[in-house]
Amino acid sequence: MGNKLSGKDLIKVGFPKNNAINIALGQIHRYRKKEKKETILAEAKEVMQSPEKYIGHGIWGKVAEGLIRPVEVKRHQLMNNRAPFSIFGENEIDELAKYQLYDSLKLPIAVAGALMPDAHAGYGLPIGGVLATDNAVIPYGVGVDIGCRMSLSIFDLPASYLKGRDHQLTSFLSDHTKFGMYETHAQKVDHPIFERSEFQDIPLLKSLLSKAYKQLGSSGGGNHFVEFGVVELTAPRKDWNLEPGTYLAVLSHSGSRGLGANIAKHYTYLAKKQCPLPNNVQHLAWLDLSTHDGQEYWLAMNLAGDYAKACHDDIHRRLAKALGKRIAVTIENHHNFAWKEIVHGKECIVHRKGATPAGVGELGIIPGSMTAPGFIVEGLGNEASLNSASHGAGRLFSRAHCKQTISKSAMTEQLKKAGIQLIGGSVDEAPMAYKDIEKVMNNQQELVNVLGRFTPKIVRMDK
């Protein structure tokens, strides 16, 4: 059987006595261990004889790379000097978040960085951190919840539509949204995302296809939500075909579910193996985009981002169907992702971990909290921020701190004062856990223009 195949077997078919053998054994054990030894050896021999034909192959591509141009594994040290950076709303940001950005700016691949006014400490890059790198992608610079995003659907219905329909809209959220690790829709739907070649070509993604199919249209735990609320458009764009005014809207916040989490875990492991760093910055390990693993992560990351969008689209489709109304305008954006963009005159990988893209004219949503408004924004293309803005209000207190200091009754009282109905939710997402969104917005006036605001009314979160 394949799992009995040894390095000696590979040497017999012509493999050189170097790390290519370890790479091949690792790939075989991970993806082909249930197959016959003879079949695997026959394929391995073909790879050995013509490795160039297998570059990019899901299983043998990494082996071919090891035969042609082995990935150099060497311990990296931080540079003495930081890459250039800007901090917005510095007085509102904790010192640990700043130091996490400072460390990332000393990576030998760092080109430039920025910190958004909602920033707080995270793993690797701080939440609200933006980092441009040279031909390298940092899985933890993207984040575990790849493609975590906002989506706002505005209906051509007046805000008054909410009056007297509280019970009905609460039922819609209870019946048509699913949260957490285990809730999924009984009525599954197909989607073009599942026809993507990456699900067949990359073994890891192939193994996650059924999970992705089951979780489509669901939301994660933590700070993820789906809300009915009121949008006030103060400066609508002509292409929206909506006049200034107040409208019924649905706002959702979630990411790529188990698919993204497993991609992040797998490629972070590979990055740490290939890119040893000092212990305090090991979460900033990167993958070179010239390598098989770097290219594979890039494909997987983009698929996860598109899957996250598909989840939001399905959520909004289900709620629109329940309402019996068509969506007039959709505004959406990622805030845990990496993009290829021009920085200082050259193409870089721009990581936005908890930051909203804000290029010139680019639309985005910056949410507040359960009781605070969110904002529809248009980017100003500020180069100092690497064309970025905050992704929300940002946490004031950690989840653990909230659980120790905030009571359920105190949270309920806050919600009652604000006229918010909550389904699910826990004290670690209480309104007082977050910074003042008005202050955050005031600290990024040079990053975005505000076109409107969203006020939550009925909020659904994980239990």
Output the CA torsion sign for 47, 50, 51, 54: negative
Nearest-angstrom CA–CA distance, 45 and 55? 15
73: left (phi over 0), alpha (psi -120 to 50) or beta: beta
Fold designation for 149-461: tRNA-splicing ligase RtcB (3.90.1860)
pLDDT at 1: 43
pLDDT at 149: 98
Percent of the chain with pLDDT over 70: 99
Encode pLDDT of 99-139 as tens digits. Answer: 999 999 999 999 999 999 999 999 889 999 999 999 999 99
Helix H or strand E segment including 388: strand 388-390
Encode pLDDT of 377-418 as tens digits. Answer: 999 999 999 999 999 999 999 999 999 999 999 999 999 999
CB 146 within 8 A of CB 337: yes
pLDDT at 65: 96
Nearest to 367 by CA among 155, 201, 150, 199: 150
Angle between helices 257-274 and 203-215 (to 10 degrees): 150
Nearest to 454 by CA among 313, 253, 248: 248
Q: Helix or strand or coil: residue 350?
A: strand
Encode pLDDT of 230-284 as tens digits. Answer: 999 999 999 999 999 999 999 999 999 999 999 999 999 999 999 999 999 999 9
Other beta carbons within 10 Å of 399: 15
pLDDT at 33: 84
Asked whether residue 3 carries a pLDDT value surpassing 70, the answer given is: no
**For the chain, domain boundaries:** 2-68, 149-461
Nearest-angstrom CA–CA distance, 87 and 302? 28
The β-bridge relationship of strands 287-288 and 336-343 is unpaired
Helix H or strand E segment including 339: strand 336-343
Encode pLDDT of 182-216 as tens digits. Answer: 899 999 999 999 999 999 999 999 999 999 999 99
Nearest-5° Cα angle at 363, 232 to 297? 135
H helix and E strand count, the chain: 14, 17
Average pLDDT for 303-320: 98
Strand partners, 137: 287
Nearest-angstrom CA–CA distance, 183 and 82? 45
Average pLDDT for 317-342: 98
Backbone φ and ψ for 132, nearest 5 degrees, come out as -100, 130
Average pLDDT for 314-321: 98
CB 23 within 8 A of CB 59: no
CB 376 within 8 A of CB 231: yes
